[in-house]
A and B are shown apart, each in its own frame.
Chain A
Amino acid sequence: MKPVNTPARPLILHGAVIAVLFALNFLLPDYHHGVLARVMVLAVFAMGYNLLFGYTGLLSLGHAMFFAAGLYGAALPMVHLEWSALSSFGTGIAAGALLALAVSLLALRTTGVAFMIVTMMFAQVAYLLTLYFGEWTRGDEGLVIPQPQRHIALPGLDLDLTSPTTRYMTALVLFSAVLLATLAIVRSGFGRVLVAIRENEERTRLLGFDVFANKLAAVTLSGAICAAAGATYAILFGYAGATFASIQYSILPLLWVLLGGAATTLGPLIGVLLMYYLVDASGPLLEQYLPGWKLSSLGIVGVSLVLLVLFFPKGILGTVRERWVKWLP
C-alpha cells in the first residue's frame, strides 16, 4: 500500500525541491537566474510570515518592520562602520528578533482585529523612523552598500557576493536552511502546539500549555526569520531603502502566503515565484494592450488579494493538500 513510509515522504519532497533549485543554477538564463535568487530570499521572508499567520493563526499587518530590521540591521553597520558581511548578517537577525520580542510583548495582549491594527501601527512607526533618521538611512533614496564590502571571508575561502553564482548559492543556502527548519518546527511538538493555538486557544491552555509564551516564541522566531531575509537581501543586492519598511511590504508576504497556501511549508516559495512572474509578465502585456493606463504592480496585488480571498482561500498547496496529497506538511 505505502511505497514509502509517511515521515520520509516530506523529507524526500523537500530534498527534491532543494536539488531542483540547485540544478537550476546551471540551467537558467541570466535574467531568470537573477530573479530566482531574489525570489528565494523573499520566500524566506514569506516563510517567516507563514510560521505566524499560517501555523499559529496570527494575522500580522506589520511584518515589513521585521524585514526592515534585518535590512537596516545589516546595512547600517556595513555602510557606517564598515563591518563585514557575516557579522552584519548577525546584527540584522538580532535586530529583528529583539524587535519582534518587544513588539509581541505588547501586541500579544490584544487579539483578532486589534492585533492586526496594532502590528500595522508599530510597523508604521518603524517606517516613519527610517524616514526620520534619514541622515543615516537616506530614507526613500536608500543606502547602497559598496561592492568591495559585499563578500564573505571564510578561512581559506573568499566568497564574492557580487558574482551571480555565489549570490544564487548563498540565497539557496539560506532558503534551504529556513525551509528545513520550518519543516522541523512544523513536525515538532512546538509546531503542534502552535497549530493547536490556531485552532482553539482555550482548549490548548487547558491541555497545560502557556499560550502566551508559545505565541511569544512564534512571533520572535517569525521576526528573526524575516530579519534573516532582510539582512540577506541587503548584503546580496547591496541596497536598503525605506520602501522595504512601508506597509506594502507588510501586505506582500500575506499575499504570497495566501497564494501559495497558508500553513504549507512550500507554499511561500510558490506564492513568491508566481507573484513575481505575474507582475513581471503583466507589465509589458498591459503596456501593449492598455497603453497609457500607467498600471502598476499594485493593482495586480489588489486584484489578486480580492480574488484569492473570494475564490481560493486555501491557496495552491492548501487546495492540493485538501484534494489530493493529504500528507503535505
Chain B
Amino acid sequence: MAFGPHLLLAALEGLVTSAVLALTALGLSLVFGVMRVVNVAHGEFYMLGAVIAWWVASLVGGHPAVGFLAALVISPLIVGVIAFAAERLVLARLSYSPEATIVATIGMLYILQQAALSLYGPEARPVPPPFNYRILLPWFGYSGYKLSVVVASALLLLATWYVLAKTRIGLVMRATQYDRETAQAFGIPVGQVYAGVFALGAMLAAVAAVLIVPISQAHYLMGHDPLLLSFIVVIIGGLGSLRGTVVAAVAIGMADGIISVFFSPTLAKIIATLLVALVLVFRPQGLFGETAR
C-alpha cells in the first residue's frame, strides 16, 4: 500500500480509538471532577463492560445484532450497579480522602480483575458485530462497523454533555462539585450524587468497551491500556474538564493510531507516557483545561 492510503488507514484506526477513548476518559474525568477521586479501577469497569457483553451476547441467540444490542443495554447497567455498590460500601466510608480512596481503588482493580479471571477465565473471546458491511474505498475496504462506533460514541458524548449542561441532574452534579457543604445545606443528597457519578463514570467506560468488543476481544487483562490512556487524556485535557477531555482524546487517539502504525508501540508508549508525566509536572492544570479547583 502506498503512503497516502496507509496514512488514511492509520487515521481511521486512530479515529476509532479516539472515539472509544473519549467515552472512557470522560468517565474518569467526571469522577475526578465531581468527587476528587482518582479511580484506578476505571480500566476494570471497562474490562467488565466487555466481559459482560460477551456473556450477554452468548446467552441471547438469533441474529448477532440482537445479542449485541442486548449487551449494549444490559452490560453498562450491571457495571453501573457494581460501581454504585462499590462507592457506597467502600469510598463513601473513607470520607473521600485522596490517599485512602486511591489505595481502595487499587484494591478494587485487583478484585475485579481476579474475579473476572475466576468467573470468565483467561481466554480472549469475541462478540460478533451486529452487522458486517465493508465500505469499499478505492485503496482498501474498511469495516462499516468501526465507523458506526465513531458515530455511536459521538452521539453518546453529546448525550452526556446534554445531561451535564442542560438538565437538573447536571446542575445538581455541578453544585456538588462546586461546594459540597453548601450543596448539602440546600438538601442535595451528596452521598447519592457521588454514588451516581461514580456509577455513571463506570458506565461510560463499560459502554465504550461494549462498542469495542466486536473489534478487539474481551479479556480479563484488557483494562490496563484504557486506564493508562484515560489518565493521559484527562491530564492533557485538564482534570475535570469535559471539552478538554474530548479534544485530548481525539489528539491522543489519532496520535496512538498513527504512531503505532509506523513505530514500535513500546517506544511510542514510552515517549507518550514521559511527555504526559512532564505535562503534569509543569502544567498541572492540563494543556486545555480550566484551572482545577
Are A and B physically bound partners? yes
Q: Establish whether residues A313 and B108, one from each chain, have CB atoms under 8 Å apart when the complex forms.
A: no
The one of B90, B107, B278 in contact with A304, judged by C-beta atoms closer than 8 angstroms, is B107
User: Considering the chains assembled together, what is the distance between the CA atoms of A287 and B94 in angstroms?
Assistant: 33
Count how many chain B residues have C-beta atoms less than 8 Å from C-beta atoms of the other chain.
42
A: interface residue count bin: 35 or more
Chain B residues whose C-beta falls within 8 Å of the C-beta of A308 in the assembled complex: 103
Residues of B within 8 A of A116 (CB): 38, 102
Q: Which of B93, B113, B266 contacts A310 (CB 8 A)?
A: B93
Residue interface bits A263-293, CB-to-B below 8 A is 1, else 0: 0000000000000000000000000000001
Cβ-defined contact, B38 with A313, below 8 A: no
A122 and B231 alpha carbons, distance in the complex (Å): 13
- Judged by a CB distance under 8 angstroms, whether B9 is at the interface is no
Query: Does B103 lie within 8 Å of A258, measured CB to CB?
Result: yes
**A251 within 8 Å of B (CB atoms):** yes
The reply to whether B104 and A305 form a contact with Cβ atoms under 8 Å apart is yes
Choose one: A112, A114, A296, A310; the contact of B94 (CB below 8 Å).
Answer: A310
* Min C-beta distance of A178 to chain B, whole Å: 24
Query: Which residues of chain B in 222-269 are interfacial with respect to chain A, using CB atoms and an 8 Å cutoff?
Result: 228, 231, 235, 264, 266-267, 269
Chain A binding surface SS class: helix
B111 and A299: CB pair below 8 A?
A: yes
Task: Assess whether B172 is interfacial by the CB under 8 Å rule.
Answer: no
Near B by CB (< 8 A), chain A positions 79-127 give: 106-107, 109-110, 112-114, 116-118, 121-122, 124-125
In the complex formed, the residue of B with least CB distance to A59 is B99
Select one of A128, A131, A293 contacting B273, CB under 8 A.
Answer: A128
**A129 with B270, Cβ < 8 A, contacts A117-B235, A302-B111, A310-B94 known:** yes
A107–B103 touching, CB < 8 Å: no
* Complex: A294 Cα to B115 Cα, angstroms: 9
A325 to chain B, nearest CB (A): 25
A301 within 8 A of B: yes
Q: Which residues of B contact A59 (CB under 8 A)?
A: 99, 102
B276 within 8 A of A: yes
- B121 interfacial by beta-carbon distance below 8 Å: yes
A303 contacts B117, C-beta separation under 8 Å: no
Is there contact, CB below 8 Å, between B266 and A114? no
Residue of A nearest to B100 (CB): A309
Nearest residue (CB) in B for A298 is B110
Question: In residues 1-42 of chain B, which contact A (Cβ within 8 Å)?
Answer: 36, 38
Q: Which residues of B contact A306 (CB under 8 A)?
A: 90, 104, 107-108, 111
Q: Which residues of chain A are within 8 angstroms of B266 by Cβ–Cβ distance?
A: 128, 131-132
> Does A305 contact B107, Cβ atoms closer than 8 Å?
yes
Q: CA of A303 to CA of B118 in the docked complex: distance in angstroms?
A: 15
Determine whether B281 belongs to the interface, using a CB cutoff of 8 Å to chain A: yes
The residue that A124 contacts in the complex, of B93, B113, B121, B228, with Cβ under 8 A, is B228
Q: Is B274 an interface residue (CB 8 A)?
A: yes
- Is A295 an interface residue when CB atoms closer than 8 A count as contact? yes
Report whether A112 and B118 are in contact in the complex, using a CB–CB cutoff of 8 Å: no
Of B100, B277, B284, which is within 8 A of A125 by CB?
Answer: B277
Residue A316, interface by CB 8 Å: no
Question: Contacting B117 at CB < 8 Å: which of A114, A128, A294?
Answer: A294
Partner of B110, one of A114, A254, A305: A305
A303 CB contacts on chain B under 8 angstroms: 107, 110-111
Sample 29 A-B pairs with CB under 8 A, ordered by A number.
A59-B99, A106-B281, A112-B98, A114-B280, A114-B284, A117-B235, A117-B280, A118-B280, A121-B274, A121-B280, A125-B270, A125-B273, A128-B270, A129-B270, A254-B106, A294-B121, A295-B114, A295-B118, A299-B113, A299-B114, A299-B118, A302-B108, A303-B111, A305-B106, A305-B107, A305-B110, A306-B104, A310-B94, A310-B104
A59-B99, A132-B270 provided; 19 other pairs, C-beta below 8 A? Answer: A107-B281, A114-B280, A116-B38, A117-B38, A117-B235, A122-B277, A125-B274, A129-B270, A258-B103, A299-B118, A301-B107, A302-B112, A302-B113, A304-B107, A305-B103, A306-B104, A306-B111, A309-B107, A310-B104
Closest 7 CB pairs of A and B: A302-B110, A305-B107, A299-B114, A306-B107, A302-B111, A121-B277, A293-B118
